[in-house]
Amino acid sequence: MSAHNGDGCALVTGGTRGIGAAIAERLQQEGWNVARLGRTSGDVQADVGDAEQVKAAFDAVHERFGPVLVLVNNAGVRHDGLAIRMPDEEWQEVVDTNLTGAFNCTRRALNDMLSARWGRIVNVSSVVAERGNPGQANYAAAKAGLLGFTRTVAREMAKRGVTCNAITPGFIDTDMTADLGDGIADAVPAGRVGRPEEVAAAVAFLVSEEAAYVNGATLSVDGGLGA
């Protein structure tokens, strides 16, 4: 448990289902006051790709939960298709949500973290950020961009008591991967898909006091898929 749990809250974007819901639940168990942000549900609602909606959401979070000292940028969408045939809007929505959304939320949260001289940012990227995946040019580009963003924020904030790390989940058993078929476990060295709780455990470590010297890192939770 962090000494800062009572001073502020943890905000989890895309926190109402799948990996995000598991992360929110785990952080609550760790003693954090957790605000779940979703596009259409949750404690606060916003399209993270829209800077004005994010500003309004942070105002609402401040009022109800206090300053944001832990931020988990987990909100994500997929629109799969070959690059040559990908419509403009399917490229844009994936980049806006998965990459620009993390920027919009991080920029807001850093004000609170700098005031507290303590903060934890965890960006949920993906195994495809580092290995590519046919049919996911938009998703892979956004998730790879998130890794560069993570490392840059880590270097900018390191002296201020704020860390910024990324995790790269592999195939995790959620509704977002339900359409990928039964054979996906065969591609994983571990021989199975992961559980959302296993990703949540990695996040819980990265936001802990014990992880104060872990900064700019990418932690894979993928059963060896990216190895």
pLDDT, tens digit, 9 for 90 and up, residues 16-60: 999 999 999 999 999 999 999 999 999 999 999 999 999 999 999
Residue 2 lies in a domain: no
Residue 1 has pLDDT above 60, yes or no: no
* Domain residue limits at 14: 9-221
Q: Which residues are catalytic?
A: 139
Residue 143 CA, distance from chain mean position:
10
Residue 3's pLDDT is: 61
Residue 1 within any structural domain of the chain: no
54 inside domain: yes
Query: What strands, in cross-sheet order, belong to the sheet with 119-124?
Result: 44-45, 33-38, 9-13, 68-73, 119-124, 162-169, 218-221
Q: What is the model's pLDDT at position 80? A: 95
In a domain, 4, yes or no: no
Residue 5 has pLDDT above 80, yes or no: no
Q: What angle do CA 171, 177, 178 make, to 5 degrees?
A: 130
Total of domains in the chain: 1
Please report whether residue 207 resides in a domain.
yes
* Rounded average pLDDT over 127-146: 95
In this prediction the pTM is: 0.95
